[in-house]
Amino acid sequence: MTIEVGEVRGLLGPNGAGKTTLIKILSTILLPTSGTAHIGGFDIVREVREVRRRIGIVLGGDRGLYWNLTGRQNLAYWAALYGVSNKKAKERIEVLLAQVNLLDRADDLVGAYSRGMKQRLHLARGLVADPMVLFLDEPTSGMDPIAAREFRSLVGDLRREGKTILLTTHDMSEAESICDRVALINHGSLIAIESPSTLSKLIAEFEHIEFEKVGASDLMHEVSRIPGVSRIYALDKEGAYCVNVSEKTAISLVLERLIASGVVSIRTNRPSLEEVYVHLLGENRGRASESPV
Partner 1 sequence: MRALRVFSFGLLVGWRDLAVFWNWKTWTLGWILRVCAVAGSWILLGKLLQSEELIEFLLIGNAIAAGASAAAWAIPASTWDRVDGTYPLLLISPGSIFPAIVGRTAVWMVNGVLTSVVAFCVLSFAFDYSIEHASYWEVGLTIITVCTSTYCFAVFLGAWITLLPKLRNVALGLVATAITTVCGVSVPISFWPSPVQVVAFALPVTNGLEGFRALVSNDMGNQFAILLTNEIVVGAGWFLLGVLLMDVIANRGRRDGSVEFM
Q: Residue 112 interacts with partner 1 (CB under 8 A)?
A: no
Q: Residue 132 interacts with partner 1 (CB under 8 A)?
A: no
Q: Residue 76 interacts with partner 1 (CB under 8 A)?
A: yes
Q: Which stretch binds partner 1 (CB under 8 A): 45-53, 178-186, 218-226, 235-243?
A: 45-53
Q: Residue 95 interacts with partner 1 (CB under 8 A)?
A: no
Alpha helices in the chain (DSSP H): 19-26, 48-53, 71-81, 86-99, 115-127, 145-161, 172-178, 196-205, 219-224, 249-260, 273-285
| The 3-state secondary structure of 173-219, one letter per residue | HHHHHHCCEEEEEECCEEEEEECHHHHHHHHHHCCEEEEECCCCCCH
**Distance from C-alpha of 65 to C-alpha of 278, rounded to nearest angstrom:** 38
Q: Which stretch binds partner 1 (CB under 8 A): 29-37, 164-172, 191-199, 249-257?
A: 29-37
Any bridge partners for residue 192, and if so which?
184
Q: Residue 28 interacts with partner 1 (CB under 8 A)?
A: yes
**Distance from C-alpha of 143 to C-alpha of 146, rounded to nearest angstrom:** 8
Number of residues this chain uses to bind partner 1 (CB under 8 A): 30
**97-125: string of b/e by CB count within 10 Å (b at 16+)?**
bebbebeebbeeebeebeebbbbbbbbbb
| 206 φ, ψ (degrees, to nearest 5) | -105, 15
CB of 3 to partner 1, least distance (A): 19
Q: Residue 64 interacts with partner 1 (CB under 8 A)?
A: yes
CB of 142 to partner 1, least distance (A): 14
Q: Which stretch binds partner 1 (CB under 8 A): 11-19, 76-84, 176-184, 204-212?
A: 76-84
Q: Residue 49 interacts with partner 1 (CB under 8 A)?
A: yes
Is the Cα dihedral 22, 24, 26, 30 positive or negative? negative
∠ Cα 62 63 69 (to 5°): 95
CB of 138 to partner 1, least distance (A): 14
Contact with partner 1 (CB under 8 A) among 14, 24, 142, 279: 24
**Distance from C-alpha of 172 to C-alpha of 11, rounded to nearest angstrom:** 10
Q: Residue 52 interacts with partner 1 (CB under 8 A)?
A: yes
Neighbours of 46 (CB within 10 A): 10
Q: Residue 188 interacts with partner 1 (CB under 8 A)?
A: no
**Distance from C-alpha of 265 to C-alpha of 284, rounded to nearest angstrom:** 37
Q: Which stretch binds partner 1 (CB under 8 A): 6-14, 49-57, 155-163, 256-264?
A: 49-57
Residue closer to partner 1 (CB basis): 26 or 190: 26
Q: Residue 179 interacts with partner 1 (CB under 8 A)?
A: no
Helix (H) or strand (E) run with residue 230 in it: strand 229-234
Q: Which stretch binds partner 1 (CB under 8 A): 70-78, 162-170, 182-190, 245-253?
A: 70-78
Q: Residue 195 interacts with partner 1 (CB under 8 A)?
A: no
Contact with partner 1 (CB under 8 A) among 1, 37, 40, 53: 53
Q: Which residues bind partner 1 (CB under 8 A)?
A: 24, 27-31, 49, 52-53, 55, 57, 59, 61-69, 73, 76-78, 80-83, 86
